[in-house]
Structure 1
């Protein structure tokens, strides 16, 4: 009985998602451009998160997934020391400058141009920017646990790693 309820719930969520995607206006199949060509807008850092300095951040959205669960943006910031909350999974690639990052467990890392890092959704990190940093951010909203578990079951049933090139 539990499996039937689980299967029905999973199918209901999938049907809702498919109908939502089907009703979404067609988006261009390719979105390309140079980060320097995007219009940067002020991205205010929550004042209570600032530890020291007067960091000024800006952001430009590059693209957004049709389902609203992913986005790509360019973000930059001047010198300052602040905490940051990651509401979504965020993979960053540092384009210019550097940042000293300390995670909630106290692990420290210097990220410089060319470095890549993942910040998990629901976590805090402290950012210490000595002069300037510019990053590209790939954001992904995590699935609710019931959907994530259903996805794992589906992957295991069909054989993980087929079709995506990424093992999923």
Structure 2
């Protein structure tokens, strides 16, 4: 299956990085700061109750403020962008660059021509739940050795 579509196979959802399969995914108008960036995306996989989502995304030239509603790690595949975080730190994203953004944060993106990425999104988990899971895993290992 290499047509950009998805297939459910057992426990896995299989997706492909076909640029031609990306569909319009407009950036919210109030987020756009300059130009007329056109975003396109395609979901590659979803796990659980949309707890973890992987998307293939691209965007044309423009400047916009992106707001993150998941913990998101991105890997850039094509093009370039200049991304400024909330602390004023600027990152130059080119193919092979990975960046991570926390749920609730925002960043200003400047895309000179075009950018394409894969985004790995996960709902943030409060620290107390991480601690509870670690304790439960430790107890499980002790009981079922």
> TM-score range, shorter-chain basis?
0.7 to 0.9
Give the corresponding residue for 1:151. Answer: 130
Are 2:55 and 2:120, in contact at CA under 8 Å, matched by a contact in 1? Answer: yes
**Aligned-residue RMSD, C-alpha:** 2.0
Shift of 1:151: 3.0
Q: Is 1:61 aligned to residue 40 of structure 2? A: no
Write the mapping of 1:119-134 to structure 2, written as runs, cut at 5 A.
119-134=101-116
1:1-53 deviation line (CA, Å, top 9, x unaligned): xxxxxxxxxxxxxxxxxxxxxxxxx9732333430177211111111111111
Larger strand fraction of residues: 2
1:35 aligned partner: 17
Give the structure 1 partner of residue 123 of structure 2: 141
Matches of 2:33 and 2:19 in 1, distance apart? 32
Equivalent of 2:81, from 96, 99, 109? Answer: 99
CA distance in structure 2 between the partners assigned to 1:119 and 1:141 by the alignment = 12
| Aligned residue pair count | 132
> Structure 1 or 2: larger helix share?
1
SS of match in other structure, 1:31 = strand
Question: Contact (CA 8 Å) 1:88, 1:142: kept in 2 or not?
Answer: yes
8 Å CA contact retained: 1:38, 1:62: no
Which blocks of at least 5 consecutive residues in structure 2 are unaligned? 1-7
Aligned to 2:50, the other structure's residue is in SS state coil
Q: What TM-score does the superposition give when structure 1 sets the normalisation length?
A: 0.72
Q: TM-score, normalised by structure 2?
A: 0.82
DSSP 3-state at the match of 1:131: strand
- Tell which structure's C-alpha radius of gyration is larger: 1
